[in-house]
Amino acid sequence: MQIISIEQESSWKLFHQVPHLVYKNDPNWIAPLESDIRNIFDPQMNTSWKAGTGKCFVLLDEKGLPAGRIAAFIDHAANQLQQNPIGGIGFFECVDRLDFALALFAHAEAYLAGLGAKIVEGPVNFGEREKFWGLLVRGFEPPLYQENYHPAYYLRFFLEAGYQPYEQILTYSGFSKNIPFERFASISKRQKERYPLHVQSMDYNILDKFATDFAEVYNASFAVFEHFHPVSPDLIRNMMLQARPIADTHIAAIVYHDEHPAGFIALYPDINPLLRHAKGKLNWWTVPVFLLKKRFTRTYNAKGLGFGIHPTYQSKGIFAILMDFLCSKRNVRRYPRMFLAGIRAHNQAIRSIYEKMDVQVDRIHISLRKALVAGITITPNPFTEPY
């Protein structure tokens, strides 16, 4: 066996080949777009590279063929807030051979230790948590766009390598017709009469303002959580521009109290079913097929990107107003099933809100951690759902 680092285009091709070997007999798997993954490791596209570094590796088997891959990365800016620097591993894929998996983990861990990491967490993304995050352990169904999908044996690999489950990420889903939108509409009407509240749907004509206000609410909402990393308006703006080809302005909005942003919700159409034929590649023939499918597709699943309420306005009925906006007749018809933004299992505040919507935990991802230095104790966050 041999492990090589990704240094040129030919080795990127090997990196992308690995999952096609792993999932060749799995009808549920939909290949993630290679361009989406490449963007994560492009410093021009991913702001995490400003204060971070990383590498991708491919394992070649005894015949010189790709049989496994892994990425390792560290964000030095985020680690300034940590007692022990944390490195990340992600985009791990491996055929069902434990020796290959252990070799990949050991190689990535040695690389991260050389960069100062004392703890490794994986499988995670180098950047935003809303995509390519966590190991799938429940809900082995066709993945949503930019959602991790894995074979069940990966959990055994991580445990054998000395990783321990650290955090659950829950994805709730439900049928739009079952959401109690009449109750939300009534509460929304009452709160708008009581307070100076109004809703602004996402509008690319005021992109800079929308991105600034979105970032303000996001940062205020999530600053209390461990490992919080503030987002900039530029980051939100770039994300919105990248999402423009698939964005639907009817399912993303900000609520304002007077002119102050008080809450946001953002979902997007799940385009993964339209991409199955592409096998991860957008080219001269897969793009026209995608556009043709998109033209004639009338209903989609909706996938949550984010949801937050500014602490200053949490008693103003912001959630009901957002749900009243989301549950229009048009949206219920176009998005018969909604997958809400993934949340950490110990976030009881958001879980209690979700559970008012007649939705259930549909799939579970977990992150796992391993100490690279003796004497470090890893205390998992509470796990609330069986898997």
Q: Assess whether pLDDT exceeds 70 at residue 337.
A: yes
Token pair 């597709």 is at which residue? 297
Query: What is the arithmetic mean of pLDDT over 354-361?
Result: 85
CB 47 within 8 Å of CB 36:
no
* Chain Cα centroid distance, residue 337: 19
Tell me what the mean pLDDT of segment 200-206 comes to.
94
Which region holds residue 132: left if phi is over 0, alpha if psi is between -120 and 50, else beta? left
- pLDDT value at residue 315: 86
**Averaged over 222-246, what is the pLDDT?**
82
In this prediction, residue 214 carries a pLDDT of 95
Identify whether the C-beta of residue 372 lies closer than 8 Å to the C-beta of residue 117: yes
E strand spans, 235-359: 252-257, 260-269, 301-309, 337-339, 343-344
Whole-angstrom distance, CA of residue 130 vs CA of residue 267? 11
Average pLDDT value for residue range 155-166: 98
CB 216 within 8 A of CB 208: no
- Both tokens of residue 15? 């990196």
Judged against a pLDDT cut of 80, whether residue 291 lies above it is answered with: yes
List the single range of 105-114, 139-148, 355-364 with lowest mean pLDDT. 355-364
**Mean pLDDT across 137-141:** 97
The residue ranking higher by pLDDT, 113 or 80, is 113
H-type helices in the chain, by residue range?
9-22, 34-40, 76-79, 98-114, 154-160, 181-194, 207-222, 233-243, 272-275, 286-296, 318-326, 329-334, 348-354
| pLDDT on residue 47 | 84
| 229 has a pLDDT exceeding 80 | no
Q: What span, in angstroms and rounded, lies between the C-alpha atoms of 74 and 82?
A: 12
Residue 260's pLDDT is what? Answer: 96
Q: Rounded to whole angstroms, how far apart are CA atoms 366 and 26? A: 21
How far apart, in whole angstroms, are the C-alpha atoms of residue 368 and residue 123?
A: 7
- Residue 116 predicted with pLDDT over 80: yes
pLDDT, residue 226, reads 63
Contact by Cβ (8 Å): 258, 200: no
Cβ atoms 20, 279 nearer than 8 A: yes
Residue 207 tokens read as 């992109």
- What per-residue confidence (pLDDT) applies to 239? 84
Residue 173 pLDDT > 90: yes
Predicted pLDDT of residue 227: 62
Percent of the chain predicted with pLDDT > 70: 99
Say how far residue 349 (Cα) sits from the centre of its chain.
Answer: 20
Structure tokens at 155: 């959990």
Q: Name the helix (H) or strand (E) containing 196.
A: none
Q: What is the pLDDT of residue 324?
A: 93
pLDDT at 45: 86
pLDDT at 339: 94
Q: Are the beta carbons of 307 and 350 closer than 8 angstroms?
A: yes
Query: What's the mean per-residue pLDDT of the chain?
Result: 93
* pLDDT tens digits, one per residue of 175-184: 998 888 889 9
Q: In the structure, what pLDDT confidence band is assigned to residue 218 with cuts at 50, 70 and 90?
A: very high
| Residue where the block lists tokens 């499918």 | 293
Residue 269: cis peptide before it, omega within 30 degrees of 0: no
Domains (ranges, CATH) in the chain?
2-168+366-371 (3.40.630.30), 180-357 (3.40.630.30)
Burial of 256 (0-12, 13-18, 19+ CB in 10 A): middle
Show the tokens assigned to 142.
Answer: 């066709």
pLDDT at 255 over 70: yes
